[in-house]
Structures are given as C-alpha cells and as structure tokens.
Structure 1
Amino acid sequence: MFRVRDDYRRAQLAIAALFLFLGFQYATWVSRLPALRTRLDLSEARIGLLLMVCGVGAAVSFPLVAVLMRRLGSRVLASVSALALGTVLLALSVVPNYPVALLVLFCDGVAVGCLNVAMNAQGAALEVRFERTSMSRLHATFSGGSLLAALLASGVNAFTTTLAVHFGLATALLVLVLGLAQPGLLREERPAGETAGASAQGSAQDSAQDSAQDTAGQPAEDAGDAEEKRRRFSRPSRVTIWMGLAMVFGTVTEGAMNDWSALYIKDVVHAAPSLAPMGIAVVSVMMVLARIFADGWRTRIGDGRIVRAGSVLAGAGLALALLVGGLVPTLIGFACVGVGVAAVTPCVYVAAARQGSDALSLVAAMGTTGLLAGPAVIGFIANASSLTWGMGAVAASAVIVSLCATQIRWPAIKEPAATKPAVTEALTEA
C-alpha cells in the first residue's frame, strides 16, 4: 500500500484509512442534513429521529457483529461494512420519502457498528503484532476524516447543491481509499475455524469454578457439547462489564460536551453568540492533539494510568470551571475534558480486544449507547434543574470512568510476546 516497504507503516496506514473512512462517511451525510430536510420537507423532530435511528442501528448491531467477527474476521468484515457505508451514501442521495430515509440510516448505523468493531480489532492487533502503541493516533484520523468531509461539502456546494453529485463524488473517494487500504490490512494468523480461546481467557478467571461444576460428572461428549455451547453463548466476564461501563461514561462525557458546550457558553456564561462555538472547538482541538501524542504517553506510563489520570483531569477540570464561572475558566475546563478523555476510548478498545471479538463487540455497542443516550440524559437533568447541574453530571461521568478503570486488566507497559495470541483472537475468533 502506498509503496511503503515497512510492514508496520503499511499496516498502520491501511488501518488509519479505515478510521478516516468512517469519519468521512459520517460527516458527509450529516453535513447535508439541511439539504435532506428541504428535499424531504422534514421538521426538527423528524431530523432528530433520523439521527437517533442511526444510533439505534449501531447500538443493536452487537449480536450481528459478534457473529460476523467470528465467521469473517476483522479484515473481511471491515471491507464489507465499508462498502455498505458507501452504498448508504448513494441511497441517501435518491431516497424518495422519509420512511425510506429512516430505513437507510438504520442500515447505516448497523454498518457503522460493524466497521467500528472491525477497525478497532485491527488497531489492537497492530499494537500487539509490532509491539508499538498506535491506537490513539488511529482514532485521531477519524477526526481528520470528518474535517476532510466538511471541506469537500463546502467545495461541492460552491458549484452545485445536488445531493447526487456530492454523495456520488464522496462515494468514489471512499472506494478509492478502501481499495488502497485493503492490501495493507492485517490478515488472520490462523485458520478461521481454529479457536484460540481468547474470549474464554477473558472470562475464565471470573467463571472457571462455575464451568468446572457444570461439566463435572458429565460424559466426555456431553462436556464437549457444553463447552461448545459456552463458547457460542458465553456471558460477558466481570472485566468486560467494567470495560463497557468505562466506555459508556467516557462516551457520555465526549458526546455531551459536543452537544451542550455551545449552549452552556451562551446561556450560562452569557458570552456573545459568536463565541458559543468556541466550546466545541476547544474540546475538539485538544482531543485531536492529545490523541496524536497519547501513544507516546501510553508507552511510557501505561494505558491504565492514562485513563485514570485523564478522566480525573477531565472531571476535576470541568467541575472547577463550573464553580468558578466566566468564559476563560470555562474554556480551560473544556480543554481539560478534551485532553482527559482523548485516550479513554482507544485504551478501552485495546483492553476489550484482548478479551476477544465478543467482548470488543459488546464494549463498542455500549459505547455507542452512551454516545446516543448521554446528551439526552444531560438534557433531562438540565430541564429538571439547570444546565450547570447537567454539566456537573458530565464531570461526574468522567470521574466514574476513573473508578471503572481500576477494575480493568490493562496491558503491561512493555507487552511480552505471550500476550499476542490473546489480542489476535479479536481478529480470528470463530
């Protein structure tokens, strides 16, 4: 890929292309919501439902993603779901009515859930195979894809407002990116039917005694059937639940800041309307910068410390800003949130991938749920009391991430070679 000879760089660029792909695809259709509203004559409530049904599709995709990861592997699943997302753009450009648009965006959410898990499984395997931290930079390219999509939308609008032209051009670019990325994606190291047991490894320490009791005294063939049944319908381990909760509260923090920071600056800080977007800008810029440098921090001090310290910084910084008040303290507090939560999702994805594809799928689905439901919950709190209390709940969510992080098994700062099979199972579990 890209005539890069170094194996690590070739794989890193290919996987980064998947993250860029997802950010570009999402920002492309979201940037044209005004055009979709005009074309389909939508009210604000219907637009909100469009956005929600996309999130619902991603949130409920967990069972399908878990099965597809076991049967196809992350490399094939990433390619298939990426092609589906390109098809969604073409479909959105010609949808005849609102019900069809809802169906298309639900399918978009399912495809997003599939690509999200597959590309993070690839990123986690990249770290282990080459023993180099890279997940945070990969997540930063998602934001880069969103920026490129916004620039393309502005450029196309200067010449034509036709959705078919814009989405057709965007789809062509996405297919090109996928074609360039495909050869560099990591391949499975084992046959698809071979099970290394990484998912069982993640839960074995929590349920080994129960498993022994279930199979004790059974004939050999019955015990084998029971083991096969457990592999297919295994309950998530205690550690996986903690990772899911960390992801939920981390995405609640991230999503709420994007949705409510501008209103807080305008309605509570009473800044000029022209300064209201500064909240989103500060959070986004600091998050991207932090993700660029976070892999180096992870190498030096470890994922666990990064998540615990970062989430405390986010919660404490935002809480202090709410207490002090004023535009400058508020922006400083928002900057603390951007820096503090930047590495949470990359680190949790890596930890989840070590438990197997089922754990990764569940954690990703819980993260999507937090991103979908979090801003709405903050809105309910603000409506019942005030937006200051709502933002206080965001600060509390960040602190809860730190508490959850104390219960997660984080990779060592220098991973031994023995850990490789566990993470590679996120690619190969069948």
Structure 2
Amino acid sequence: MTPDLQRRRFALFVLFFIPGVSISSWVTRTPAIRDRIGASIAEMGIVLLGISVGSMTGILLAGFLVSKYGTKSVALLGTALIPTGLLVMGGGVAMESMSIVALGLCFFGLGTGLGEIAINIDGALVEQLSQTSFMHFLHGCFSFGTICGAVAGFALTAARLPVEWHLSLVAVLTMPAIAYFIRFIPGKSAGQPSAGDGQDMQAREDPFLKDARLYLIGLIILAVALAEGAANDWLPILMVDEHGFSKTAGSLVFLIFACAMTLGRFSGGYFLDRFGRTNVIRASAILGAVGLSLVILSNNPVLAGAAVILWGLGASLGFPVAISAAGSSGPNSGGRVKLVTIGGYIAFLAGPPFLGLLGENYGLRTAMLVVLTFLLLAVVAAGAVRPRSTARQSRR
C-alpha cells in the first residue's frame, strides 16, 4: 500500500470519527435538551424532523455533487456543516427555542447526508484500491467516535455543564481536524478511471437499477440503519421515560450501546473472514432483534439496560458489510453504493422522528416494534450480500 493511500485511509477514519463524536454529544444530552426547550415526546419528534429535512436534502444532492465536484469537496462541505449545526443547536438551547434547535439539526443532517455518502463512496474506492477489508473499520471509527462523545456526554451530564457549552466545545475542537485531514483526500480526477477507459464504459452501461439484489441489500441497510438511528436519537429518553433511569444513567446506557457497536465493527473482520458476509449479516440481525425485544418487553430495568449490548452488536456490521457487498456487486461501484446508502440514511435520519410520533401515542417501547420488524426482514434478506461469483455457483 502506498504512503498516499495510507494517509487517505487515515483521513477517512478521522472524517468518520468526527460525526460519531458529534452525534453522541447531542444524543447523550437529549433528555436535558428536551427539558430546556419544554418539548413533549411528539414535539421532540417534530424537532427531530429538522435533521430529516437536512439529511433528505443532503442525500438527494450528494450523488450529483460527488459526480460534479468529487468526493473531497462534498466531504469537506458536509463535515464542516456538522459542527456548524452543533453551534446553532447550542444557541437554540440557550434561547430555549425549539425552532432554532430544529434549524441546527437541519444543518447537522445536511452535513451528515452530504459528508457520509461522499466518504462512503471514497471508502469503497479505497477498499478496491487496497484489496483489503476497509469499510467495517471505517464505520468502526464512527462508532469509536460515538464512544468518545458518549463518555464526554456522560461526564458532562454528571458535572451539570450546560448543554450549549458542551455542544459549542465539541464544534470548536472538531473544526481544525476537518481542515487538516481533508487535504489527504485526492481531488475529483485522482483515482478515477479515464474517460476512455473500458471499465468506465462498462460502468456507464451497467444497468444496476435493474439488479434486484441491490434492493435487498438496500433493505438490509435500511433495517440496521433504523436500528442504529433509533438508538442514537431515542435510547437515553427511552431508558429515562420507559425504564425509570436517571438522565445520567440514560447516558451511560447509550455509552454501553456505543461500546457494543464499536466492538462489533472492529472485530468484524475476523468473523467475516471465517464465516462470510451472509452468515455474519444474518447472525447480527438476529442478535439485534433479540436485544431489542428484551428492551421492548422486559420490565426489569437492569435486563433492559444490559440488552442494549445485543442491540448494539446486532446493528454494528450490517451497514458497512452491505456497502462492501453493493460496491463489489458490479462494475459501477459508485452508483451502486449511492443507491443502497440512500435508503440507509433515510432510515437513519428520518426514521427516529417517525418513531417519536408513534411514541407519543403508543409509548416508545411500542414504537420500537417497527425497528424490530425491519431487523427480522434483514434476517430473511441476508443472502443478498453473498459475493456474486458465489451466488452464481450456488445456483448451478
């Protein structure tokens, strides 16, 4: 592996670590944010629509912008919007304004939609160039970021630091890192096939929109992204409101979830090499379903809190493994990755507000049955991630 490719890999790790830190910073403070702005569960769901509007805009624009300007420019724009969103959110909390908090979440979602899709596309290309497993490590850095953010959130919640100071501090610390590491991502033309390259012609002619396997892979991504997003936005509140935890203990439960996610992603390479994509996806979805079932059905707070370990392990590998499967499923790697990630980020960022609206009427535990249903569908669809050559041989 060349030094330039090594620096590029590390830069992608950092650029995925930053959204993880940022999202867990405000997730661990959601009970305090809700109280400061005086929001009910339904109103909190409406506030979270800000992140959905932003993410939908980013997702819809990401493919066009990456095609026109390259992954570097889009990743820079997206990741820069994330700390901007944190600053606006902090201002909204200080002013006790639901609308300003929602605006900050809109900036945050726009940055996430643009930045993470661009980074995923670049990561899939790096995986192909290096001929080594990369995507689960990349997403592991996001999860490691959530651990760091959750530890800080737990400590600062216990120390009673105001939310606005907490979010502003995270924004100020992450901005210089973005400015430094983005320079190691090559510009639009670097690492891309030339206009007359046969591979490029094959990619343009690849009818990937007609590939049924891609839609099943997209269903898997949607399920695990919904499972992760539901925890990111609602787990502390779920534990406080439904299981009687304190705000600090609710933050600690989210930290446990983040640790389980990170463990699953960093250890995933061993299980993928030993058991293959299909078995890993199927086992992960089953683990997640069992853990989520215990959170929903158990009236024992200790058992419910411990069950998030299974929830986190189950949600950890589906997204990166499915992206790898999509990227290697045909010649148009970028187009295939864009297609499946759209569904994932829709679920990750638009699903939680919908769960909030259900939770207001039926309770958050009941709302989580939607997530459980999708995880069970992922168990059924797991065969779609089988490598194409293996899939063909199995049909002969």
| More divergent stretch after superposition (254-263 vs 177-186) | 254-263
Q: 1:167 to 1:352 in 2, by over 3 A?
A: same
SS in 2 for 1:61: helix
Q: Does 1:10 align with 2:14?
A: no
Number of aligned residues: 377
Deviations 1:185-223 (A, max 9, x none): 35532368668157556535xxxxxxxxxxxxxxxxxxx
Match of 2:322 in 1: 348
Superposition deviation, residue 288 in structure 1: 1.4
Q: 1:248 to 1:198 in 2, by over 3 A?
A: farther
Q: Does 1:121 align with 2:106?
A: no
- Structure 2 counterpart of 1:184, which letter? F
Q: Indicate if the aligned counterparts of 1:236 and 1:359 stay in contact, CA closer than 8 A.
A: no
Distance 2:147 2:115 in 1: 19
Report the identity percentage.
Answer: 23
Match of 1:403 among 380, 384, 390: 380
Superposition deviation, residue 387 in structure 1: 6.8
Match of 1:213 in 2: none
Match of 1:72 in 2: 69
Q: 1:170 to 1:294 in 2, by over 3 A?
A: same
Distance 2:305 2:126 in 1: 36
Q: Indicate if the aligned counterparts of 1:58 and 1:365 stay in contact, CA closer than 8 A.
A: no
Match of 2:191 in 1: 189
Match of 1:174 in 2: 174
Structure 2: state its 5+ residue gaps.
391-396
Q: Does 1:53 align with 2:50?
A: yes
SS in 2 for 1:302: helix
- Structure 1 counterpart of 2:207, which letter? S
Match of 2:216 among 237, 242, 245: 242
Distance 1:135 1:296 in 2: 14
Q: Indicate if the aligned counterparts of 1:24 and 1:148 stay in contact, CA closer than 8 A.
A: yes
Match of 1:309 among 279, 283, 291: 283
SS in 2 for 1:174: helix
Superposition deviation, residue 136 in structure 1: 1.7
Deviations 1:313-364 (A, max 9, x none): 3335655887887567656654333222210011122233444434433432
Deviations 1:245-294 (A, max 9, x none): 211122223334556666777888x7776976675454332221111101
Please report the TM-score for the alignment, with normalisation by the length of structure 2: 0.75
Q: 1:279 to 1:156 in 2, by over 3 A?
A: closer
- Structure 2 counterpart of 1:307, which letter? I
Equivalent runs, 1:90-101 vs 2, <5 Å: 90-92=87-89, 99=99
Superposition deviation, residue 62 in structure 1: 2.8
SS in 2 for 1:407: helix
Match of 2:334 in 1: 357
Distance 1:264 1:384 in 2: 14
Match of 1:370 in 2: 347
SS in 1 for 2:207: helix
SS in 1 for 2:191: coil
- Structure 2 counterpart of 1:249, which letter? A
Structure number with higher helix proportion: 2
Q: 1:102 to 1:326 in 2, by over 3 A?
A: closer
Q: 1:199 to 1:315 in 2, by over 3 A?
A: farther
Distance 1:33 1:331 in 2: 18
Match of 1:417 in 2: none
Distance 1:71 1:284 in 2: 35
Match of 1:203 in 2: 207
Deviations 1:60-96 (A, max 9, x none): 4333111011112212221222223344444555568
Q: Indicate if the aligned counterparts of 1:90 and 1:167 stay in contact, CA closer than 8 A.
A: yes
Match of 1:296 among 270, 292, 295: 270
Superposition deviation, residue 123 in structure 1: 1.9
Q: Indicate if the aligned counterparts of 2:17 and 2:145 stay in contact, CA closer than 8 A.
A: yes
Q: Indicate if the aligned counterparts of 1:314 and 1:333 stay in contact, CA closer than 8 A.
A: no
Q: 1:333 to 1:194 in 2, by over 3 A?
A: farther
Please report the TM-score for the alignment, with normalisation by the length of structure 1: 0.70
Structure 1: state its 5+ residue gaps.
205-234, 414-430
Distance 2:235 2:150 in 1: 21
Distance 2:29 2:11 in 1: 28
Q: Indicate if the aligned counterparts of 2:121 and 2:337 stay in contact, CA closer than 8 A.
A: yes
Match of 2:106 in 1: 106
